[in-house]
Amino acid sequence: MEHLELFFKSIFVDNMVFAYFLGMCSYLAVSKKVSTAVGLGAAVIFVLTVTVPLNWLLDQYILREGALTRLGEEFADYDLSFL
């Protein structure tokens, strides 16, 4: 059971590669052309429109304390709320 927690923590919480590239994304995407900036703005709006509801669903049904109980009683002790 400890291995599963370590697996999730290493992917989602302590992943420095994700943190580094997420910080670089906006810096690399700076443009001096209006058409490129409009495309980037549309891409950001699309990504936020898709990810915000998905993040809410993850938070409500997977990451909440006791949310994994519906998978079985052996998962009742898992608390993924720190993610």
Q: What's the half-sphere exposure (Cβ side, CA atoms, 13 Å) at 67?
A: 13
- The confidence band for 76, taking pLDDT boundaries of 50, 70 and 90, is confident
Please, what is the average pLDDT of the chain? 77
| DSSP H helical ranges for 1-83 | 2-8, 16-28, 34-61
Q: Report pLDDT digits (tens) over 12-64.
A: 777 767 666 665 565 556 667 777 777 877 887 898 899 999 988 888 888 77
Per domain, the residue ranges of the chain are: 2-75
Contact 78, 5 (CB under 8 A): yes
Q: Report pLDDT digits (tens) over 24-34.
A: 565 556 667 77
End-to-end CA distance of the chain: give it in Å, rounded: 17
